[in-house]
Amino acid sequence: MARKVSQCSKNLLGATTYTRIKSVVETARLRGEDPVAVLMALRR
């Protein structure tokens, strides 16, 4: 239960948002990039 709530998957929007962010973070890590920097660049 705590894992489900912590991943914002109580509704479809939260689950979709979590999945997209997680995908960007993992891709950045695989490329050797800073995940936070990548997310901040996408935010601009």
pLDDT at 6: 60
List the pLDDT tens digit at each of the 44 positions of the chain.
Answer: 445 556 666 788 888 888 899 999 999 999 999 999 999 999 98
The predicted model scores a pTM of 0.73
Q: How far is CA 28 from the centre of its chain?
A: 11
Identity of residue 9: S
**Domain locations along the chain:** 2-43
pLDDT at 24: 95
Identity of residue 1: M
